[in-house]
Structure 1
């Protein structure tokens, strides 16, 4: 029985998602009714628990990872190699915390996977081989801002001739007070909400995430505004680059912009962080004219001090998985060093110098989430991931072109140039309905088809919809036909 259940689940996760993207109301109701009101006095058999999960709970899942037509959150999917590896992770349940060469291979595999990711993103190992895996972009953004906070305050101490001070060791308030500073600010344009959340978690404060955009473009940096903020004497600054804005998928900078921002950060002792949750994947594309705008948008990211990435987006590995890179090998350990736990000290090691993850990240107890990354990277290689991303981009551009030409819809951000719109399209499609009543209900009407799922969002203060294409199962012609059929029928029934 157990083997048959495992085979059924494996087959469902492997093959095309034949049913609706969202669960039916009946399946949701049945699943909720099956949940116990209280913990039973005696336990049930393994077989009955398996049947309960497979028969009652699984039918109430959405097809977010399994369906190519789930375009809501940028969740990607789970490649076959990653799914196999994730089952191994659960079966052996390794805790990846301390590098002990004679204890387990897991830290070596994780360290190797970091190197493979650097190769995929064309980041020099000699500079960037200082990273770790996290639960996702939120965790990685916390690491980036925490390292930035440490770095800019140490820079301020040096500039003032003060003894170097560590927030990790002495405390945020104490360091600010000794340097006569009122706080740390984060300077950005259209930052993702997780970056703002990270500022709140770290005591920087959500209100200290400041917008320094151009008046005619909310995503592009105004360098005069940026320098004015960087020059403040009462605060120190972290500059956060949106390498892929969440609604449009567009990039805040080009390579030339990043060089200018880098010069300003060096001049004023600021830390430069890139939130590349999905935008960093632009670096895996070739240099053909078809993808030139995207490649230019991710160009120069190697100039920043730290980078956030998300594995459970375009890398198509399971939740929860993010990664974090930094050019500064010692800053993370100053913040996250695990103190006063002799039993967690690494023993003698042979081979490469592999850092213990608990000293460079948030968690002491960590799932072996690097193994699905490792497996999927080996399975697809550079060319496989490039081909996957090309299909996602081509589908997004094909849908955008249809929306641009359709009288019932407006492609966003608004432009009179279809050529410009398509050139800037990465893997997100942002649009609205022209009729006001339909626009207010647009995402619900699309999702009620049960054939695809989109996210409702807001653009320029009005409702909009986003189609985010990220699943490895994408088929351009098949999925294009489905999407435009749904959108056309929604428009006809307004």
Structure 2
């Protein structure tokens, strides 16, 4: 493709994306295709001769678009948002056009140095501790996801817990990782990858009311493991769990970690970016005093399209010690002098994309003011939904939402628990099949609870009003068909 052909087709693609975003509400939120339907519509063999790009766009419309679940739809409430904004898309396009592989400072100095500036900007915007900044003893790095951030944090924790031996000798002792029943599944996966296995993961009890990790129970479990000869490597506290946005008491957990010299990782994948608003800085309580690492996802709620997680560490030494390998073909004067950051030492893969461009574009386009306005809009809409649910005798609110996720349960008089749960699941299926909204579910105290996550860039008050009216209508219609 020549530069001129690229220019012509590039304009077509940008126009296609702009039209898609402008009309995304006209599509059913959740894809309605059946398993295998997309594959069956595609050729079984690749073309022998090249095809015009117009044919690609035509098949995108005809075949692929019906198989898309539209995360940018204003009625998408199923999962935490995965926002794609104009400046982020353009920043990603610039990154693709440059084709930078930023594994070392020397392979593109701007790729590395822009990233160090942008993660420090974000630390300032979120009010994070000064020692998390890249110009201090810690620093930040853009990862692909919170799952990778958790794995990297665990590797650094193991390196420190093992006195630097693990990276060389492997898992030579019984190391343990501590989570709660509400912790994201990526922590158990990280334990498997790191060699601890599922048997090395301890699940700490939660407070039955708040679903937050119980620090006293953590203290008991840690002491028992130490007495049995285990080496506690890391505790993960979550600020805003995936299931219900429960918030673990970071400071109290940190005190327990300090007693045993255990690495504390704080996973704030969804909720952390809300601290861009001063009124949500309480989400950072305990970070400065206790956290060894901390991560959040701009690609969820901060208008930056996937993938873009930021991981900060209070001290970069264990992280680099765990992950740095320097073969001859990567040696260079800047690295040898120790005067630069080489981000290949801060992640699992060697190669890395120029992700900082899209986050830089977002922060510059919206500014702190625009980012705060987006967070506040979503929190306000979620509070409205919660108030409607609390006022309706046909529904039960799980708890007042602290941020943008509302968890609630429809009531089914006359049905026992198992039957009521089946009815709730059926209600969710009917709502999702309707095409105008998408919800997901979780379980709280063994009961099925619906999740409505407000966070989309295009979601406005009228969309949550329409969603609530449809939920009430479907609930009434289904109730009329049930016994009791």
With normalisation by structure 1, the TM-score equals 0.85
Alignment of 1:93-242 (within 5 A): 93-100=99-106, 103-129=108-134, 130-154=139-163, 165-173=164-172, 176=173, 182-188=174-180, 190-214=182-206, 216-217=208-209, 219-231=211-223, 232-233=226-227, 234-237=229-232, 238-242=234-238
Shift of 1:33: 3.7
Residue by residue, what CA displacement relative to the aligned partner does 1:313-368 show, whole Å, maximum 9, x if unpaired? 012212222121100111111111123x222234338x995411111111111122
Match of 2:4 in 1: none
The alpha-carbon distance between structure 1 residues 411 and 297, as it changes in their structure 2 partners (threshold 3 A), is same
Q: 2:403 pairs with 406, 417, 426, which one?
A: 426
Q: 1:415 — aligned with what? A: none
Distance 1:270 1:189 in 2: 20
Moved more, 21-30 or 322-331: 21-30
Return the offset for 1:197.
1.6
Who is 2:427 aligned against? 442
Instruction: Work out whether 1:72 is the aligned partner of 2:72.
Output: no
1:333 to 306, 312, 320: 320
Q: 3-state SS of the aligned residue for 2:54?
A: helix
- Cα distance in structure 2, aligned partners of 1:432 and 1:406: 11
Deviation per CA, 1:272-297: give whole Å up to 9, x if none: 1101101212322223xxxxxx5434
Measured after TM superposition, the shift of residue 113 of structure 1 is 1.4
Task: Tell me if structure 1 keeps the 8 A contact 2:127–2:281.
Answer: no
Closer, same or farther in 2 for the Cα pair 1:346/1:381, shift >3 Å? farther
Residues 360 and 45 from structure 1, CA distance in 2 versus in 1: closer, same or farther, beyond 3 angstroms?
A: same
Alpha carbons 1:72, 1:453 under 8 Å: kept:
yes
Pick the aligned partner of 2:455 from 453, 465, 470: 470
Distance in 2 of aligned mates of 1:146 and 1:242: 18
Residue in 2 aligned with 1:252? 248
SS at match of 1:17: helix
Normalising by structure 2, we get a TM-score of 0.86
Cα deviation digits, residues 129-156 of structure 1 (max 9, x gap): 22211111111111111111222222xx
**Contact (CA 8 Å) 1:251, 1:279: kept in 2 or not?**
no
Determine the C-alpha separation between the residues in 1 that align with 2:431 and 2:353: 37
For 2:30 and 2:210, the matched residues in 1 are separated by 37
1:405 paired residue number: 391
For residue 24 of structure 2, give the secondary structure of its aligned residue in structure 1.
coil
Q: Which runs of 5+ in 1 are unaligned?
A: 155-164, 177-181, 288-293, 413-420
SS in 1 for 2:390: helix
Q: Please state how far the C-alpha of 1:243 moved relative to its aligned partner.
A: 0.7
Quickly say closer, same or farther: Cα 1:17–1:28, change in 2 above 3 A.
Answer: farther
What displacement does 1:215 show? 5.2
Show the counterpart of 2:351.
Answer: 365
Paired with 2:20 and 2:158, the residues of 1 have a C-alpha distance of: 42
The match for 1:301 is: 287
**Contact in 2 for aligned 1:136/1:311 (Cα 8 Å):** no
Per the alignment, in what secondary structure is the counterpart of residue 142 of structure 2?
strand
- Retained in 2: the 8 A contact 1:282–1:298? no
Say whether the 8 Å CA contact 1:14–1:80 is kept in structure 2.
no
What's the Cα RMSD here?
2.6
| Matched residue count | 454
Contact 2:334 2:340 in 1 (8 A): no
- Deviation digits for residues 87-122 of structure 1, max 9, x if unmatched? 111222211211018x45211111211111111211
Deviation at 1:4, TM superposition (A): 5.2
Secondary structure in 2 matching 1:464: strand
Distance 1:353 1:472 in 2: 40
Who is 2:481 aligned against? none
